[in-house]
Amino acid sequence: MSGMEPYREFTALGWVLIALGFLFVAMPYVARLVPSVERLPWYILWVYRRDGFYFATSPLLILLSLLSFAWSYLRRRRVAIYTVPGTNRLRWVIAG
């Protein structure tokens, strides 16, 4: 195991967050320059316009980032999810 290997997940998460940040910053400018972008479904791009103020965000990107944080937290906490034998119920066990 090399010295940087334990940080691989943090590096990948960092790149994802940088890309999401770039998309969040670029969305209002794209919405201002390309008016047809408002025809996209609301869950992909939501644009708020009022008196020259533009605010654009993506509920889908927000949801994906929240799921990423939850996944990272659950992996760090060593949560095991398994089905109870003989039933259709899921069981969560925190092992640490």
**% of residues, the chain, pLDDT over 90:** 2
Domain membership of residue 58 as a residue range: 5-94
Return the structure tokens found at 49: 């316009």
The C-alpha R_g of the chain, in whole angstroms, comes to 20
Residue 19 pLDDT exceeds 80:
yes
Of the two residues 94 and 40, the one the predictor is more confident about is: 40
Q: State if pTM tops 0.85.
A: no
| pLDDT, tens digit (0-9, with 9 covering 90-100), for 27-60 | 778 777 776 766 778 777 787 878 878 777 888 8
**Tally of domains within the chain:** 1
Structure confidence at residue 25 (pLDDT): 85
